[in-house]
Amino acid sequence: MDTEVNQPEVVSPVRRRSRVQQQDSVESSLSVKEPVPIPPDLAQRIKLRAKELKIRQKDRSWAAEVVNDFRENLLRFLKNSSDQPLFQSAIFLTTGSYFEKVKIDTPDEFDMMLKLLVPSRFNTTTLDAGLFYRIDLTRPTRNPIKDFLLDDRLTLSSSKILTEMFRLVRKFLKTYKVPDHRCRWELNRKKPNSPAVTLSLCRRDSGGEELISVDVVPALEVQSWPPAVRNGPDVDRWLGTKLRQEIRSLPCYFVPKRQKGRKLSEDAKESWRISFSHVEKKIITSHGNKKTCCESGGTKCCRKQCLMLLKSLIEGLKRRYPKELEDLCSYHGKTAFLHTLSTRYDDSYWAPQQLPSCFLQLVAALQDHARTGSLPHFFVQDSNLFATSMFPRRTQEFLVKVLEEQMKEGLPLLRPPSLLPSLKPVTIGTEMNPEELPEKSHPLISFDWLKLILVFVVVVVFGVKFLCF
């Protein structure tokens, strides 16, 4: 999922100071250098790619229908599952890229948070700089959550919740039928540090090619934000103090994510990670310095397009260097984007015609974060997402190198991937039309060849007959 980040390193005051200095220099360079002169063909490529991504985004109704059907039926199943009362009252929160409308290349990824209704009184104890927590009930309870406590009958076990979620989804899939009968949902193997139950929608033909990926993440809602994030994100100049207060009045969420590393403490094995995906969605939706930005009648900006382009660049890099950049994820891009937005807050900086220069400045910001090895989490500012404990030094160096290469060569990775599979096999509810199915990738003899051979045989046979008579 989008918020896939690992255990951060606690930043010492000295490092924090130097980080702030580095950030200041990034900030000043960002606001001074504009607009940057850009080679016309590079500007053209950026604009073209942004346009393609927009078109691609509109082409998603098939995926949305399939995912909504899955979601509604899973919820119905959970409500009727009397064997697990905790999940009976669960509800879905809409989070993640799909709902922010900035998700890009195939296969489509969808995140859904499943909010579990639990007693509202918790104690949260941070296990690091403020990303990972132990969660305890303030007193023993008879609430269905009691089945998911550790032996002390107070501490919430993240592993027990996640295991149960897996069991329920597996049980659900046994009876659930995908409306498009050419596809089936497959449960992915459990990953040790993921808070999600991940499913893939695969074609029954074409060697089970993955069309859609869905992350179902159970989440606990907590009303009061822990001390590490108490002040809320740095959005005053950009979105105003009023919006920050509004954000602060929202609950925060915890997802069952185990800390990374070996020889983990008991707390770390049962840890929960704080999640702000609902706030990120809110910020990205109402992103203007002036409230009217991108609203009907208001002025337009290129912020969302810039984020889409950055995500596309990151996806491109990961596709090209899957091993070397395994630890890089779209959340790093989103974090760099949010920092840039809070520094370059004025709407006029992001005028639509400035798209190429805005995007290049965003790439430059990511480069700076990578070079300095410092990317503070936007909400948990003392957590560095580029700390060597979770983003290895060699990955960081590699990222610096390939970003430099991309910039030098005029961003060749922004060219759309050439061999992406089509995402729209058929419209749901219609019968399967074999003509719409792409051919298998390596058939022994294709249909066209068969036809040719048949014609050849007929001609030869008739030819021979004609000669004989």
CA distances from 298 to 245, 352, 376, 452 (A): 24, 13, 32, 60
Phi-psi region of 359 (alpha: psi -120 to 50; beta: other; left: phi over 0): alpha
Q: Of 218 and 288, which has the nearer Cβ to Zn ion?
A: 288
Among 294, 338, 375, 402, binds Zn ion (CB under 5 A): 294
Stretch that binds Zn ion, among 15-23, 135-143, 245-253, 286-294 (CB under 5 A): 286-294
Q: Of 250 and 293, which has the nearer Cβ to Zn ion?
A: 293
Amino acid code (one letter) for 283:
I
Stretch that binds Zn ion, among 292-300, 326-334, 338-346, 414-422 (CB under 5 A): 292-300
Q: Of 5 and 301, which has the nearer Cβ to Zn ion?
A: 301
Whole-angstrom distance, CA of residue 95 vs CA of residue 380: 19
Whole-angstrom distance, CA of residue 29 vs CA of residue 273: 33
Q: Of 279 and 294, which has the nearer Cβ to Zn ion?
A: 294
Q: Of 298 and 463, which has the nearer Cβ to Zn ion?
A: 298
Give the three-state DSSP class for 361. Answer: helix
In the complex, minimum distance from the CB of residue 347 to Zn ion, in angstroms, rounded to a whole number: 7
Stretch that binds Zn ion, among 193-201, 224-232, 295-303, 390-398 (CB under 5 A): 295-303
In the complex, minimum distance from the CB of residue 282 to Zn ion, in angstroms, rounded to a whole number: 14
In the complex, minimum distance from the CB of residue 160 to Zn ion, in angstroms, rounded to a whole number: 43
Q: Of 274 and 294, which has the nearer Cβ to Zn ion?
A: 294
301 forms part of the interface with Zn ion (CB under 5 A): yes
At 415, list the tokens.
Answer: 């060219």
Contact status, residue 214 vs residue 201, Cβ threshold 8 Å: yes
Phi-psi region of 297 (alpha: psi -120 to 50; beta: other; left: phi over 0): left
Give the three-state DSSP class for 102. Answer: coil
Whole-angstrom distance, CA of residue 218 vs CA of residue 221: 10
In the complex, minimum distance from the CB of residue 404 to Zn ion, in angstroms, rounded to a whole number: 30
Q: Of 352 and 421, which has the nearer Cβ to Zn ion?
A: 352
Q: How far is CA 35 from the centre of its chain?
A: 30
DSSP calls for 38-75: --HHHHHHHHHHHHHHHHHHHS-HHHHHHHHHHHHHHH
Q: Of 288 and 425, which has the nearer Cβ to Zn ion?
A: 288
In the complex, minimum distance from the CB of residue 345 to Zn ion, in angstroms, rounded to a whole number: 12
The overall longest dimension of the chain from CA atoms, in Å, is 101
In the complex, minimum distance from the CB of residue 232 to Zn ion, in angstroms, rounded to a whole number: 22
Residue 156 bridge partners (DSSP): 149
Amino acid code (one letter) for 421:
P
In the complex, minimum distance from the CB of residue 343 to Zn ion, in angstroms, rounded to a whole number: 16
Q: Of 222 and 294, which has the nearer Cβ to Zn ion?
A: 294
Backbone angles phi, psi at 6, to 5 degrees: -110, -165
Q: With contacts defined by CB under 5 A, how many residues of the chain interact with Zn ion?
A: 4
Stretch that binds Zn ion, among 163-171, 227-235, 293-301, 428-436 (CB under 5 A): 293-301
In the complex, minimum distance from the CB of residue 34 to Zn ion, in angstroms, rounded to a whole number: 17
Stretch that binds Zn ion, among 132-140, 172-180, 246-254, 301-309 (CB under 5 A): 301-309
Q: Which of residues 96-115 bind Zn ion (CB under 5 A)?
A: none
Stretch that binds Zn ion, among 179-187, 284-292, 408-416, 437-445 (CB under 5 A): 284-292
Torsion angle of the four alpha carbons 220, 377, 95, 6, in this order, in degrees rounded to the nearest 10: -70
Instruction: Tokens 């009045």: give the residue.
Output: 249
- What are the E-state strand segments in 210-311? 210-222, 252-255, 272-275
In the complex, minimum distance from the CB of residue 305 to Zn ion, in angstroms, rounded to a whole number: 10
Stretch that binds Zn ion, among 55-63, 156-164, 297-305, 328-336 (CB under 5 A): 297-305
Stretch that binds Zn ion, among 110-118, 263-271, 300-308, 367-375 (CB under 5 A): 300-308
Q: Which of residues 385-414 bind Zn ion (CB under 5 A)?
A: none
Q: Which of residues 39-98 bind Zn ion (CB under 5 A)?
A: none
In the complex, minimum distance from the CB of residue 279 to Zn ion, in angstroms, rounded to a whole number: 18
Q: Which residues of 89-116 are buried (b: 16+ CB within 10 A; e: fewer)?
A: ebebbebbbbbbebbbbbbbbbbbbbbb
Report the 3 state secondary structure along 191-243.
CCCCCCEEEEEEECCHHHCEEEEEEEEEEEEECCCCHHHCCCCCCHHHHCHHH
In the complex, minimum distance from the CB of residue 295 to Zn ion, in angstroms, rounded to a whole number: 8
- Residues in the site for Zn ion, rule: CB under 5 A? 288, 293-294, 301
